[in-house]
A and B are shown apart, each in its own frame.
Chain A
Amino acid sequence: MEIRLSSVLLATSLLATALLSGCGWFHRGEKAPAQVVADEPQSEPSIIEPQVNRREVKTPKIKAKDFELGGYFGAISIQDFGTNPIYGVRAAYHVSEDIFLEGFLARSKAGTTSLEDVFPDITVVSDSGRRFTYYDLDVGYNVLPGEIFLGRGHAFNSAVYVTVGLGDVKFADTDQFALNFGVGERLLITDWLAMHMDVRDHVFETDLTGRTKNVHNIEATLGLTVFY
């Protein structure tokens, strides 16, 4: 019974297909009339109900951890104004295993000049002007990648890098264009946590002490960053 029924159905569908394709041949380029499709027997329930649950295969994406974010603190020698503590934040993007782009934002407060120490009545810079703030945009290159060994059982990935960049130093209530040159070491405590040791020189032109000159403000800092 079932076989007969299915063969009838098969014949009908074949006929329908033939009709449809025939129509298609003559009406190429036109829209097929809808009534031909409607000729299919509707009262008879279809015997094979295809229950195809499409399996959605989602391949997980690989997370890229190319960004590095962190903070640092240390000492900066502000030329003519003594050595003072400095603290700041840094963010980097690693373009390749060699090159990275980095931004810095930091703040310090200058001390007094020797002149002010000797003659306490003289003030070279006002109190609010002693605030030393900078931002830097740098490009860095990992020149010496390698490993650091701590005893027998521990090896940490590390890299000695050089950076060069430009930015703005705000000191004595004025903004100055500043270049910076640095060398540093990144030591990866884990693959996502890094310790930095940096020495950087911020060079800018100023006439604070009477004559126009380039001042070098060298900082030595220790930082901690997270890769994400």
Chain B
Amino acid sequence: MRRLLALLLLQAFNVGLVHAKEQLLEVVVSEPYLEMHSGPGRGYPVVYVVGRDELVTVLYSRTEWYKVRAPRGQEGWVRRSDLALTKLASGEPAPIPPYPQFSSHRWEIGAGYGVFNHQNLVTTWGDFGLTDSLDIEFVLQQALGTIDNRYIASIGMRHTFIPEWKWFSPTAGIGTAYQYIDDKVPPKPLQTNNQLAYVSLGARGFITRRFMWRADWRKYVTFTNQNQNEEPEEWKFGLAVFF
């Protein structure tokens, strides 16, 4: 009895170990054959072909290519669309995750170039979609001018009017920002820290896979402790990846 228990324990442990080490997806080739290329690109030659009903282990992916291992140990790269035609051992289609829908993506991260009040602007942003048409945007940017450099952080809400429009869809937003001015040429600015508020108009569009572009125009109001508030303008264009 004790021996049996020990054996069972060992077996469980063994299975656990194997399970933890190799949790790789295995798929069965259901088309007449599956081509394996020498590299993850359209031009790389086919170096091995796996026949129908053979088992293939999927190791990992890079962009739209999947590195796989054939039953006899050969490794190569399979195109995403080819791998999507394979099946699980149960007969279900292979679980190749689809690319996120552009119209309903949740996360976005990007960077670009702009002009803030006649200064060159480097901009980076992160976006979280609350719904298909409403998202929160976090922006960090650096405006580099001849008189001063500004670091601007902003948070705002953006509305996409028609998210289903893939190639061009207008947007509008409002938000608040904070800027720090680092002067280059004297005299020192009266205030080096300001709060700002903005309204924005823009557009976004799909490029390919997870890739997209965004353009934005913003009108800021800088709250100062002087008699007049400044009203700088900003233009920018950037590229982003969405998830």
Question: What residues make up the interface of A, taking CB atoms closer than 8 Å to B?
Answer: 57, 59-66, 93-97, 99, 101, 137, 139, 142, 145-147, 155, 157, 159, 166-168, 174-177, 188, 191, 227
Contact = CB atoms under 8 A, between A and B. Distances in A.
Closest 7 CB pairs of A and B: A177-B120, A177-B144, A157-B39, A60-B23, A63-B60, A137-B111, A145-B41
A94 B62 contact: yes
B61 A64 contact: yes
Given A94-B63, A157-B38, A157-B39, A62 B122 contact: no
A59 B211 contact: no
Nearest to A142: B41
Interface in B25-39: 25, 38-39
Chain A interface SS verdict (over half): strand
Q: Which of A64, A101, A177, A191 has the most CB of B within 10 A?
A: A177
A63 B67 CA distance: 10
A94 B63 CA distance: 6
Given A62-B25, A63-B61, A167-B122, 18 more contacts: A57-B90, A59-B88, A61-B25, A62-B96, A63-B59, A95-B63, A96-B64, A96-B211, A97-B65, A99-B208, A101-B111, A101-B239, A139-B239, A142-B41, A145-B43, A166-B113, A168-B144, A175-B149
Contact of B64 (A97, A139, A142, A177): A97
17 contacts: A57-B90, A62-B60, A62-B96, A63-B59, A66-B62, A95-B211, A96-B64, A97-B41, A137-B122, A145-B39, A145-B44, A147-B44, A157-B38, A157-B44, A168-B142, A175-B182, A227-B62
Contact of A95 (B60, B111, B149, B209): B209
Interface of B: 23-25, 38-44, 58-67, 88, 90, 95-97, 111, 113, 120, 122, 124, 142, 144, 149, 182, 184, 208-211, 239, 241
A64 B60 contact: yes
Contacts of A57: 90
A220 to B, nearest CB: 25
B61 A146 contact: no
A191 B67 contact: yes
A99 B24 CA distance: 28
A210 to B, nearest CB: 16
B19 to A, nearest CB: 10
A106 to B, nearest CB: 16
A97 B96 CA distance: 18
Contacts of B60: 62-65
Nearest to A173: B184
B127 to A, nearest CB: 15
A178 to B, nearest CB: 9
A90 B166 CA distance: 32
B64 A65 contact: no
B139 to A, nearest CB: 14
Contacts of B149: 175
Contacts of A99: 208, 211
Contacts of A157: 38-41, 44
A193 B3 CA distance: 47
Contacts of B62: 64-66, 94, 191, 227
A66 B122 contact: no
B43 A62 contact: no
A74 to B, nearest CB: 24
B89 to A, nearest CB: 10
A99 to B, nearest CB: 6
A95 B44 contact: no
Nearest to B60: A63
